[in-house]
Structure 1
Amino acid sequence: MEYYYKSSRKRGIRGFTLLELLVVMVIIGLLAAYVGPKYFSQVGKSEVKMAQAQIDSLEKALHQYRLDVGSYPTTEQGLNALVTRPGNEIKWQGPYLGKAPPPDPWGKPYQYMYPGERAEFDLFSLGKDGQPGGTGDAADIANW
């Protein structure tokens, strides 16, 4: 009686070894460790640029408001005076914005003061941390 052993593997076909898989995983991990921080720092920079662009847009609307009314909105009237007529402003020709003033990129309202402490009016975001001062993403973004 003869027994023939049939291998389930065909010759020339083989899979990856555990060592090869580990090497590939280490390489992917190193690439992620290198690229990840660079990607997330760019996200932070884009939020700061977006806040500055929004402040510039709000600043232009405030200047147009002043040209029509003769002065900037008071601190109490705030940025909403750019969208809805304050009750006592007969020279108001708005709206000066297409919709309500947007929040900053971190979801907080922009701060507005008239008269300002650092400029004719102060318009600023407190940054990512929502606290005065700070550096990097947490730095204040302002019109001065």
Structure 2
Amino acid sequence: MMKIASFRITPVRNGFSLLEMLVVVSIILILATVAVPKFMSAGKTAKIAKISADIRTIDNAAALYEIDKGKYPETVAALATKDTNGKAYLQFEPKLPDGTVYSIGTDGVVSGTFDGKTYTSQMEDIKNGG
């Protein structure tokens, strides 16, 4: 007698099961919870680095101005204004990230307020490069 082989036909699975989808969504949510705050703070960190660089640049230009004129400029805009010889200490007047201007005191201290905090040329982290 001859045996006839029987084959069991299993249905082809197309797609993912509900459990697999839940696991993937959970992993994505966990990664997003960790990554999003990092990305959100990166913009603020970049803005603070720009403030630090601007203050150092203005501070250096103000020091040169003081050497030439014997006093510090009254405003940062004065550093970007060309004199009678066509010389300016800055190519343009730097602005804070929110568009406001930096100020300079009679003692040459450069300062700017951004996001509720005042940054000055006397701060150690700005003197040391941010």
TM range (shorter): 0.7 to 0.9
CA RMSD of aligned residues (A): 2.3
Whole-Å separation in 2 of the counterparts to 1:31 and 1:109: 39
For residue 108 of structure 2, the aligned residue among 101, 112, 121 is: 121
Aligned pairs for 1:1-144 (under 5 A) are 11-74=11-74, 78-85=75-82, 94-99=87-92, 101-114=93-106, 120-129=107-116, 139-144=117-122
Q: CA deviation at 1:94?
A: 2.4
Unaligned runs of 5+ in 1: 1-9, 115-119, 130-138
Aligned residues: 113
Rg (Cα) greater in structure: 2
1:121-140 CA deviation, whole Å, 9 max, x = no partner?
231111223xxxxxxxxx22
Unaligned runs of 5+ in 2: 1-9, 123-130
Q: Which has the higher contact order (CA 8 A, sep 6+)?
A: 2
Whole-Å separation in 2 of the counterparts to 1:34 and 1:53: 30
Q: Percent identity?
A: 28
1:91-125 CA deviation, whole Å, 9 max, x = no partner?
x77211112x12112322112222xxxxx223111
Flag the 1:61–1:93 CA change in 2: closer, same or farther, 3 A. Answer: farther
Whole-Å separation in 2 of the counterparts to 1:19 and 1:49: 45
> Which residue of the partner structure matches residue 3 of structure 2?
none
TM-score, scaled to structure 2: 0.73
| Stretches of 4+ aligned residues off by more than 4 angstroms | none
1:13-58 CA deviation, whole Å, 9 max, x = no partner?
4211233222211211110101111222233222212101110001
TM-score, scaled to structure 1: 0.67
SS of structure 2 residue aligned to 1:67:
helix
